[in-house]
Amino acid sequence: MTLRSVQQLSAYAALACLIAVTFRAFQGLAGFDDAHFDSALLRDAYTLKILKFSLWQALLSTLLSVALAWPCARLLYRLNPKGTQQLLRLCLLAFVTPTLVIITSVMILFGPQGALRPLLPEEWKLFGLNGILLAHFYLNFPLALRILTQHYQALPLGLERLASQLKFSAWQRFRILELPQLRAPLLSVSILIFILCFNSFAVVLALGGGPSATTFELAIYQALKYQFNLTEALTLAWVQFAIAGVLFALTALLSRIDWLGAARQVVGWKPSVAPIPRAIGTLFYVLIWTLMLLPFFALLASLQLEKLLSIDLHRLFASLGRSLLLALGSTLVALTIALLVLPPQAEALTARRNLKAALLNWLASHHLVAPAMVLSTGIYIGLLADGALKQWSLFWLVLLNALLVLPFMLTQLRSSAASYHQQYNKLIANLKLNLWQRAGIYFCYLRPPLLSAFALGLLLALGDVSIFAIFGRYDAPTLPWLIYSYAGSYRLGEAAIAALLLLMVCALLLLVLEKSHRQHKV
Please tell us whether the domain made up of 49-302 is placed in CATH 1.10.10.1590. no
Q: In the prediction, which pLDDT does 287 show?
A: 92
* DSSP state letter for 117: G
List of residues 6+ apart from 463 with CB closer than 8 A: 97, 98, 99, 100, 101, 480, 502
Residue 262 to residue 89: CA distance in whole angstroms: 9
Show me where the domains of the chain are located.
1-30+305-522, 49-302
Round the average pLDDT of the chain to a whole number and report it: 80
What is the average per-residue pLDDT within 68-97? 86
Model confidence over 424-445: pLDDT tens digits? 777 776 777 777 777 777 778 7
Residue 470 to residue 376: CA distance in whole angstroms: 6
Which one is the CATH code of 1-30+305-522: 3.40.50.300, 1.10.3720.10, 3.40.50.620, 2.60.120.200?
Answer: 1.10.3720.10
Model confidence over 195-224: pLDDT tens digits? 888 888 888 888 876 777 788 888 887 887
Statement: residue 25 has pLDDT above 60: yes
Q: At what angle do helices 372-386 and 389-431 cross, to 10 degrees?
A: 120
Model confidence over 280-334: pLDDT tens digits? 888 999 999 998 888 888 888 877 777 777 788 888 899 999 999 999 999 999 9
Q: In the prediction, which pLDDT does 520 show?
A: 52
* Same fold flag, 1-30+305-522 and 49-302: yes
Q: Within the chain, what is the greatest distance between any pair of CA atoms?
A: 75
Give ∠ CA 268-274-277 in degrees, rounded to 5.
Answer: 105
Higher pLDDT, 435 or 74: 74
Q: In the prediction, which pLDDT does 518 show?
A: 58
Statement: residue 32 has pLDDT above 50: yes
Residue 487 to residue 482: CA distance in whole angstroms: 9
Phi, psi of 268 (to 5 degrees): -75, 170
List of residues 6+ apart from 209 with CB closer than 8 A: 125, 127, 128, 129, 131
Q: In the prediction, which pLDDT does 151 show?
A: 83
Statement: residue 93 has pLDDT above 60: yes
Q: In the prediction, which pLDDT does 262 show?
A: 45
What's this model's pTM, rounded to 2 decimal places? Answer: 0.79
- List the one residue out of 223, 292, 217, 264 whose CA is nearest residue 467: 217
Please give the share of the chain, as a percent, with pLDDT higher than 70: 88
**CA 413, 417, 419, 424 torsion-angle sign:** positive
Residue 434 to residue 121: CA distance in whole angstroms: 70
Q: In the prediction, which pLDDT does 522 show?
A: 46
Within 10 angstroms of residue 17's Cβ, the number of other Cβ atoms is 14
Q: In the prediction, which pLDDT does 468 show?
A: 85
- Please give the single-letter amino acid code of residue 93: L
Model confidence over 142-194: pLDDT tens digits? 989 998 888 887 777 677 777 777 777 777 777 877 788 788 888 888 988 89
Residue 164 to residue 56: CA distance in whole angstroms: 42
